[in-house]
Structure formats: structure tokens, C-alpha cells
């Protein structure tokens, strides 16, 4: 089960997430999302846990808890919207503006 973790301090590392969630079960992966240009944390991440019951326990146990000075928001991750594109494109059609 994939878990969304929001309101992270910019100091939180993937190891910090791994350790926080490991108390509830086996952590398959932990990822802090970073800005591609600066490498700085965007303040959220995802944790994937092998077992659904352990993931639910982690959500209940960690939502609102403080990690490195900030109360985190924890919940089940929602699937990405279809057709969603990243980046800073110009949009769909239209004239180029420089």
C-alpha cells in the first residue's frame, strides 16, 4: 500500500521516513519528492509498505505526529490523475509568447 506523507520539514530524509514507518511494519520504499532543478525537498513524500494492515496502523499512528519539528499529514496515496503531465509546458495549442 502506498502512503502519502505531507507537511514534511525540508530536513527530513528518506532514511527518516524509513525509520518512522518501520515501527509499524516492513517498509518496501520511502521517497522524499525533490525539485528537479534545485534538489530541495518539496515537503512531501511517499512510503510503500508491504502489508495493508501495517500501512493502516502507520497512517493512524503517525498522522499528526511531529518529525523534525513539523506535524506530518499521513494518508493513503491517491492514484495519479490520467493525462496529467509534469513540467512547465505552454499548455495546449495557442500562439507562442516570448
Least confident span in 25-29, 33-37, 42-46, 84-88: 84-88
Q: Is the backbone of residue 7 left (phi > 0), alpha (psi -120 to 50) or beta?
A: left
Q: What is the pLDDT of residues 54-86, one digit of tens each?
A: 999 999 999 999 999 999 999 999 987 766 555
Domain extent at residue 25: 2-76
Domain count, the chain: 1
Q: Would 21 be classed as within a structural domain?
A: yes
Q: Would 91 be classed as within a structural domain?
A: no
Structure-model confidence comparison of residues 36 and 80, the more confident one: 36
H helices within 29-96, ranges in order? 52-62
At 54, is the secondary structure helix, strand, or coil? Answer: helix
Strand partners, 45: 5, 32
- Buried residues in 68-77 as b, exposed as e (16+ CB within 10 A): eebebebeee
pTM of the model: 0.80
Amino acid at each position: 500500500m502506498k502512503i502519502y506523507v505531507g507537511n514534511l520539514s525540508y530536513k527530513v530524509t528518506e532514511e527518516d521516513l524509513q525509520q518512522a514507518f518501520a515501527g509499524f511494519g516492513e517498509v518496501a520504499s520511502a521517497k522524499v519528492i525533490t525539485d528537479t532543478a534545485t534538489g530541495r525537498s518539496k515537503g512531501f513524500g511517499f512510503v510503500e509498505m508491504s502489508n495493508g494492515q501495517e500501512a493502516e496502523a502507520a497512517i493512524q499512528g503517525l498522522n499528526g505526529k511531529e518529525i523534525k519539528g513539523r506535524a506530518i499529514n499521513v494518508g493513503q496515496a491517491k492514484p495519479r490523475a490520467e493525462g496529467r503531465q509534469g513540467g512547465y509546458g505552454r499548455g495546449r495549442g495557442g500562439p507562442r509568447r516570448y
